Amino acid sequence: MQPNNLLKSSSRSQYHPASIFRALYEWVIQWAVTPHAKIALLLIAFAESSFFPIPPDVLLIAMGVGAPSRALGFAGICLVGSVVGGMAGYAIGMGLWLIVSDWFYAYVPGFTPEVFEKVSTLYGDNAFWAVFAAGFSPIPYKVFTIAAGATHIDFATFVMASILSRGLRFFLVGGALRVFGPSVKHILEKYFDLFSILFLVLLIGGFVLVKMLL
């Protein structure tokens, strides 16, 4: 199936949410074997930061398995697309949120008024760590990018946290593919969310411990 067959797959699924999500997943994966894989990776990483439901990691893994020596370069493409997409999400939150909020709540997975309100509250506690946690972990990053703009958190703080967290996430995946090659694909796909949560807990815990000791 070619990437442009997404609509056909969706129509056969009768628009069941799980089937549409699966069709989107397969559509993303298929770009790995096309001449436009790098452009697709950049655009998917961009879109995932504000509205697209499939994380770019799935395409990054597929491309890295096919060319492990180029995996770090693919991770860099992911980072650029995701951070710029996060800036676009910030702009949506700052300038358009009152106009487009109903559409996001209705059609974008992970967006609910309750979640958006909770994220906005988190920014009052520590904006940097809120963005960092969302950028690195399986937490929906798109909710945080738009909420960051809607709540007018410091833009430089937002960008720095996004670069560090997204870079850490994508380069860990790219590095694993570069070192271990295709053999690590199954582990990354099955356990990446768990690994990212554990790593984030250890990272934040380490900073908290250093702060307490100093």
pLDDT of the residue at 18: 59
- For the four alpha carbons of 192, 23, 36 and 77, in that order, the dihedral sign comes to negative
pLDDT of the residue at 36: 95
What does residue 157 show for φ and ψ, rounded to 5 degrees? -60, -45
pLDDT, one tens digit for every residue, the chain (214 residues): 445 444 344 444 444 555 676 787 788 888 988 999 999 999 999 999 988 888 899 899 889 988 999 999 999 999 999 999 999 999 999 999 989 999 998 888 778 888 888 888 888 878 998 899 889 887 788 999 999 999 999 999 999 999 999 999 999 999 988 988 877 777 777 766 666 566 556 555 544 543 444 3
- Report which residue type is found at 79: L
The full DSSP string for 13-37 is: TTT-HHHHHHHHHHHHHHGGGSTTH
Could you give the count of Cα atoms lying within 13 Å of 47 in the half-sphere of its Cβ? 14
DSSP 8-state class, residue 53: S
Sequence-ordered list of residues with C-beta below 8 angstroms from that of 174, at least 6 positions apart, any chain: 60, 64, 71, 72, 73, 74, 75, 76, 78
